[in-house]
Chains A and B, each alone.
Chain A
Amino acid sequence: MSDILVAENIVKNYGDYKALNNVSINVAKGSIFGLLGPNGAGKTTLIRIINQITMPDEGLITLDGEPLKQDHIKDIGYLPEERGLYKSMKVGEQALYLAQLKGLSESEAKARLKYWFDKFEIGDWWNKKIQELSKGMAQKIQFIVTVLHQPKLLIFDEPFSGFDPINANLIKDEILKLREEGATVIFSTHRMESVEELCDDIALIHKSNKILEGKLIDIKRQYKNNMYEVGLITDNKAEVTQNLKENFELSNATFKTLNDELQFNIKIDNKLPVNQLIQHLTSKGELTHFVEVIPSVNDIFIQTVQNN
């Protein structure tokens, strides 16, 4: 699959402070790309450069193979983390205004807004002022405005903040649907469970440098350490544990179960086939639980950031 967005060696300085140091990312067309990193790592700076809000000091960004230009604004939909709306302006007027700024004609914008307002069942908000709406309600309007001009590339910075679980789900479903319809999504968040759930690829930025990038599944493979979570019913827990410790690296594990069993994580050598481990374990007792420990994005995040 080709890349819709390529950022090459982006450098951005704010005075003496280097906000981005030679950062490159490739976002595949039709993917959901997670842009991760601790606070202040440089994610927002990179996103602002992609949106042409700030200009990079060095490096090149191409969208669909073309160097980024003013006209690309209509191809990108951006929901910033710091977001709001004009408080004293009516919802409908405001949505129309923002849609027109993205290059839609008034009639086109009206028709599309009607579609989305009906979809979210918020048609009766049209003449309300933003200050009369709750934060979650205002967020819905912002989401609509972001996607209204049907951009090829959607950039969401913490899209779920401020939403209750029901509305967060609604938005999540919409994001997935937009992807199905062909849009590419860049997604920046601190909520690792939503990264886990949504992202195909991730990039991790830490202290202005990119320290990790790739397909989520590849990264997970790379970070797995042949550890398995085991539940074993045995009469002689102490002896079995002692015995296993002589051959393997053991660590504590807890998981919910119905049995009174021995619970532990076991790490094996790369060369040892899993089947042999299972055989070995069954010889010690009744094997009730055997699961490969897959590193969570959360673990990877913390581990990588701490190692750097």
Chain B
Amino acid sequence: MNHLSLITKREYLNKVKNKSFIIMTFLSPLIMVGIFALIGFLTQLNNDGVRTISVLDESNLFANEFENTEHTKYDILTGLSLEDAKQLVRKAENYGLLYIPPAENVDAIADKIKFYSEESPSVGVMNGIEDKIEEEARAIKLKESGLDPVLVSKLNIKVRANLETFDGEKTSKAGSYMKLIFGGAAGYLLFMFIIIYGNMIMRSVIEEKTSRIIEIIISSVKPIKLLLGKIFGTTLAGLTQFTVWIIIGTALMIGVSAFFGVEASQGPMAQQQAEMMKQASQNVEAQEMAATIFQEIYNMPLANLIIMFILFFIGGYLLYASLYAAIGAAVDNETDTQQFMLPIIMPLMLAIYVGFFTVIENPHGMVSQVFSYIPFTSPVVMLMRIPFGVPIWQQLLSVLILFGTFYITVLFAAKIYRVGILMYGKKPSYKEIYKWLKY
């Protein structure tokens, strides 16, 4: 077996057999799903309990609109003065008092409605109440104008421009969102992968330095082979972990939603959802939309996306991994790495921000284009742009620049690595590292 595969194998097995790695691999998805379940549970808990809202409607227009729901009880007060009502509600420790003053017409009421409460009421509750009043007020006004509400709703017209490219491909706004989600997920995944496993490589280089085995090894193999073997081994371990996470995560998500699904259908959120679904199913438009979304996914350059995802993922990861390894070689312990982390994190963050703000705004704008060629940001930015359609030659050019830069970077990294791994006890400065490049 040649050196590179020996080293890769050892790095891989060493990572995969490590106890904390195994624990993290199997525990992380559990923790993630656990947190989601907990959030869901807590939200439900928060909404649990019944709040009583007292209503003093002196206009006598809306009292009938307030029907009790599972979480909200409306207590309709009559024949009380506002002051008495306030006193009463306060004493009863009710959630609040909705006061609708008397008025000759609906318009006059609109600005005068008040809500009294001990603490600021939740936005959700207020929106609900306001919606109810608005709806009723509108109905009243329609009636006053002598219009038939059914007729009015028929008069409503909605405009949805049908988007189509010059090549005849149909797109839609929903489709744009899908593209954004696809691109964003791909870019973000790469970002996370680089940070998690780049750090892992760095730690493994530092470990070889601190355990003083490094000189024994590089008297047998060339440092560049050790460097590459490390990167490959850790990458494989990372991919293994990622795969396990995705499998377990998906299984758990399905399991959890199946389990909670039944129970949650009685909850308020689920009710809302069910409501929406009901509306949606009645709504031909929504059905059409769902169809467009699938059409959209289908229309996306999936093969292109997958191939480029793999290329940019590998290129971007290798580029950063070699930098992480160089940093690991330059220092003696993890605390000394801080000063060198900024130049790595900065372009990554920049890529993510450019991706999420600029690409969303205009996928083919100047800034998006430039950043999708700069090798330190291109993996993330280009991955986000591709779903919106980027000419193949541009993608290939970007990949070429990326791999070219990787080649140059790995040479530099290897130089730093070669010198750095044999340096002990010194906390190097940038100046010092620059000198190493010339050794």
Proximity string of chain B (409-439) to chain A, C-beta cutoff 8 Å, 1 when within and 0 when not:
0000000001000101000000000010011
Whether a CB of chain A sits under 8 angstroms from the CB of B14 is yes
Contact (Cβ within 8 A) B219 A83: no
Whether a CB of chain A sits under 8 angstroms from the CB of B170 is no
Interchain nearest-CB distance for A125 vs B (Å): 17
Whether a CB of chain A sits under 8 angstroms from the CB of B218 is yes
Q: Which of B82-90, B94-102, B208-216, B276-284 contacts A (4 or more CB under 8 A)?
A: B208-216
Interchain nearest-CB distance for B218 vs A (Å): 5
User: Which chain B residues in 203-233 approach chain A with CB under 8 Å?
Assistant: 207-208, 211-213, 215-222
Cα distance A88–B210 in the bound complex, in angstroms: 13
CB contact between B215 and one of A80, A88, A102 (< 8 Å): that residue: A80
- Look across to chain A and name the residue whose beta carbon is closest to the beta carbon of B204: A86
- Could you list which residues of chain A lie within 8 angstroms of chain B, going by C-beta atoms? 14-15, 48, 51-54, 70, 73, 76, 78-80, 82-89, 97-98, 100-102, 142, 145
How many contacting A-B pairs (Cβ < 8 A)? 63
Contact (Cβ within 8 A) B215 A100: no
Interchain nearest-CB distance for A90 vs B (Å): 10
Contact (Cβ within 8 A) B424 A82: yes
Contact (Cβ within 8 A) B438 A98: no
Contacts of A100 on B, CB cut-off 8 Å?
A: 1, 6
Whether a CB of chain A sits under 8 angstroms from the CB of B10 is yes
Which 4 A-B pairs rank lowest in CB-CB distance, beginning with the nearest?
Answer: A84-B212, A80-B215, A101-B220, A84-B211
Contacts of B218 on A, CB cut-off 8 Å?
A: 53
CB contact between A83 and one of B207, B216, B220 (< 8 Å): that residue: B216
Whether a CB of chain A sits under 8 angstroms from the CB of B18 is yes
Task: Please name 25 pairs of A and B residues whose Cβ atoms are closer than 8 Å in the assembled complex, sorted by A.
Answer: A15-B435, A15-B438, A48-B422, A51-B219, A52-B219, A53-B218, A53-B422, A76-B219, A78-B219, A80-B216, A80-B219, A82-B212, A83-B212, A83-B215, A83-B216, A86-B207, A86-B208, A87-B211, A88-B14, A88-B18, A89-B14, A97-B10, A98-B220, A101-B6, A101-B220
Interchain nearest-CB distance for B211 vs A (Å): 4
Whether a CB of chain A sits under 8 angstroms from the CB of B3 is yes
- Look across to chain B and name the residue whose beta carbon is closest to the beta carbon of A12: B439
Cα distance A15–B435 in the bound complex, in angstroms: 7
Cα distance A97–B5 in the bound complex, in angstroms: 12
Interchain nearest-CB distance for B205 vs A (Å): 13
Contact (Cβ within 8 A) A84 B220: no
- Look across to chain A and name the residue whose beta carbon is closest to the beta carbon of B210: A84
Which of A53, A76, A78, A79 has its CB near the most chain B CB atoms (within 10 A)? A53
Contact (Cβ within 8 A) B219 A53: yes
Cα distance A104–B439 in the bound complex, in angstroms: 32
Cα distance A277–B57 in the bound complex, in angstroms: 136
Contacts of A52 on B, CB cut-off 8 Å?
A: 219
Contact (Cβ within 8 A) A83 B3: no
Further contacts, 13 of them, CB under 8 A, given A98-B216, A101-B3: A14-B439, A48-B422, A73-B219, A78-B216, A83-B212, A84-B213, A86-B207, A87-B207, A87-B211, A97-B6, A98-B217, A101-B220, A102-B220
Which of A51, A82, A102 has its CB near the most chain B CB atoms (within 10 A)? A82
Which of B211, B215, B216, B219 has its CB near the most chain A CB atoms (within 10 A)? B219
Cα distance A87–B424 in the bound complex, in angstroms: 18
Interchain nearest-CB distance for B425 vs A (Å): 10
Q: Say whether, besides A48-B422, A97-B6, A86 and B219 are in contact (CB < 8 Å).
A: no
CB contact between A86 and one of B1, B213, B435 (< 8 Å): that residue: B213
Contacts of A83 on B, CB cut-off 8 Å?
A: 212-213, 215-216
Proximity string of chain B (379-423) to chain A, C-beta cutoff 8 Å, 1 when within and 0 when not:
000000000000000000000000000000000000000100010
